[in-house]
Structures are given as C-alpha cells and as structure tokens.
Amino acid sequence: SPRRTSAPFFSDDSEAEGPEGAGGVSKVRALLTVLILCYINLLNYMDRFTVAGVLPDIEHYFGIDDGKSVYCQTVFICSYMFLAPFFGYLGDRYNRKFIMSFGIAFWSLVTLASSYTRKEVRDVFLFSLKTF
C-alpha cells in the first residue's frame, strides 16, 4: 500500500503534521494571518459606517440638505456591491497578495485624502450627487 505523506484535513494524528500544519504553514503564522485579516475586515466595516455617523457634519460642511446627503452612503454601498464580485473574480484567478495589497493601499490613500477635502473642491466630491 502507498505511504501517506500528509495527514487528512481534520486529522487527530499530530505526529503526521509535524511542527507545521498540513498546508506547510506553521500554526503561529496561520494564526497571525487570520488575526491580520480580521483586523483589516474590522477596519473595512468601521469605514463603511463612518458616513452614517458623521452625516450631519458632512451636510453642514458641504452645505447640502438631507435629500442629497443620503446619496453619499448609497453611492458607496452600490459601488461596493458592484465591485465586490469583480474583485472576487480577480482574486480567484490572479495573485491575491498583490490584489489585497493594492486594495488596502488604495483604500487607505482615498480615506486619507477624503479627510483633507476642502469646500473649494466639493463639486468634485459631489459630482455624482448633482446628477440626481
């Protein structure tokens, strides 16, 4: 009978796995990876609901009413809804590390830049709102 070189996925046989898990990654590295991904996901969800928390301040700063301010969150959620499957498709076919690194860097830069938006450039920020 052929010799088994790796343990089954849900194996109780810890001797077959050695110091590394069945996938060749140490348990510490796997745990660290999961913790980093959970932290990024937490920041992602916090960022999504920031607009709702500061909506009165956004309305006051940009001088818009409730009718137009609701589009801020709507535009974000709709773009997220349409772009998530696209990037899921890319993640299945291309290097996920590169896609995640680019996405995190882009997200961070846009978030940082949005905190420095001046009233003089609000037309660029509110361009999509004027079409409604």
Q: What's the pLDDT tens digit per position in 39-91?
A: 988 887 787 777 788 888 888 887 888 888 888 778 777 887 888 888 889 88
In 3D, which of 67, 79, 69, 85 has the Cα closest to residue 125?
69
Which of the four pLDDT bands, split at 50, 70 and 90, describes residue 2? Answer: low
**H-helix segments, 49-95:** 50-53, 55-62, 66-93
Position 32 pLDDT exceeds 90: yes
Any idea which residue has 């301010």 for tokens? 69
- Please tell me the distance from the alpha carbon of residue 126 to that of residue 64, in angstroms, as a whole number: 10
Position 132 pLDDT exceeds 50: no
- Decide: helix, strand or coil at residue 9: coil
Question: Residue 59 in contact with residue 65, Cβ under 8 Å?
Answer: yes
Average the pLDDT over 12-18 and give the result: 49
Which of the four pLDDT bands, split at 50, 70 and 90, describes residue 35? Answer: very high
Any idea which residue has 């046989």 for tokens? 13
- Please tell me the predicted confidence (pLDDT) of residue 38: 92
